[in-house]
Amino acid sequence: MSAVPRGSTSAAWPHPADFSAPPTSHDRARWAEADRIARPARLAALRARMAAEGVDGFFGLRWEHMRYLTGLPFDEGEVTGSGDSGKFLITGRESIVLADSRYTIAVGRDAPGSRAYPAVGPLAGLWPDLLADAGVTRVAVEAMTIPHLAWERLQAAAPGVELVPVDGWVEAIRQVKEPSEVERIAAACAVADRALALLLPSIRPGVTERELALDLEWRIRTGGAERLAFDVACLAGPEAALPHGSPGDRPVRSGAVLLFDFGAQVAGYRSDMTRTIFVGEPSVRDLAVHEVVLAAQSAAIDALRDALAGARHGALLPSGPEIDQVARAVIEADGRWPAYGHGLGHGIGIATHELPGLGSRSPTSPLPTPTVFSVEPGIYLEGETGVRIEDLVHLDAAAGALERLTRFPSGVVVVGA
């Protein structure tokens, strides 16, 4: 769909029917079966890493890893009050999930390939028996997640077992996406696209950021999502200069931008998109900022397409920092405004932010494939305005394909005029 020109009418807006329908119960059942079939290969990949590193156990603490490897559908909210339930131990022959009485039924139903282990009392108290039961003596532990004091208590509880600090093992597996994972991310994108299209008629001068954020959340939740991917950001005028911000009681004003950053979750997988909408007649400056940001995003996506062509002839894919620099160079060459201070993008899947990263500090190794990540350049002018455009793209070098999963148009959209 082409960009909507200045002063356009609602007839030119994106329409909800432009986007895929919400997933059906059949889709969800098919995706659940795909996970069940894929889980042994996921575990095999982790066990291969364990064997290569000389450990006989992997103790996981992150909810997204637990969901990916065992099927137990925790999220950030559940982890807060679950105690040690949901933590898991992978050995060479089995998967063990800690579960108190609140979660034993869920483990049996949602993680049938795992054995529930009673999580009664502090973790350090059950640690020696858990390791003895599992028959492990050298255990990799997700060191970025476990508190230092908890680490020391586990060491003291089982001094004969060596704890090996590790990081990134499961993330490296999860960044390569299976077809059913991409389908779910695309479905979450469609839910978000459709929700914003439905919201457009409600955007007018005088309505507050908080009112619009609540309206958008309702449309996401009733449009096919089981939950939000994260809290909706709706930022008007000067507030749009905050790369991350929360909606307040500030009213939308004519002649100012309105930035939305939001996502849906469908069957455990997430979307993430940002659109900067114009309310009333756009200013020349704001239109120019939007044009530069869109050019930066287009340059990065074009560079990825070019890289795919090269990959068919044996060339390596670019790294995240290299693609980030392509987008950043467009803004810097224009010279009127500073480029974004954050990274160009991030991977997405079960979690909103995961590998691969597309930033100046991201790994310099070639991008993985197939994978999904965001491309989200921005320009932020403190106290004045801000523009960011964020799309999710699916990169598949073997298929020679780069697909934009976010389908809501990225050009100029004017409302309330």
pLDDT over threshold 70, residue 11:
no
Q: Give 243-262 pLDDT, tens digit per residue.
A: 988 999 999 999 999 999 99
The proportion of the chain whose per-residue pLDDT surpasses 70, expressed as a percent, equals: 97
CA distance 118 to 101: 8
Mean pLDDT of the chain: 93
CA distance 116 to 11: 56
The whole-number pLDDT of residue 78 equals 81
The whole-number pLDDT of residue 5 equals 39
Average pLDDT of the segment spanning 65-90: 88
The whole-number pLDDT of residue 13 equals 85
Q: Give 351-410 pLDDT, tens digit per residue.
A: 999 999 999 999 999 999 999 999 999 999 999 999 999 999 999 999 999 999 999 999
Average pLDDT of the segment spanning 27-43: 96
pLDDT over threshold 80, residue 228:
yes
Domain covering 176-415, topology: Creatine Amidinohydrolase (3.90.230)
CA dihedral 283, 209, 195, 26 (to 10 degrees): 150
Domain covering 54-174, topology: Creatine Amidinohydrolase; Chain A, domain 1 (3.40.350)
Q: In the chain, what are the domain boundaries?
A: 54-174, 176-415
Closest CA to 137 of 37, 204, 56: 56
Amino acid at the residue 26: H
Q: Give 302-333 pLDDT, tens digit per residue.
A: 999 999 998 888 889 999 999 999 999 999 99
pLDDT band at 2 (very low <50, low <70, confident <90, very high): very low
Radius of gyration of the chain (CA): 23
The whole-number pLDDT of residue 352 equals 96
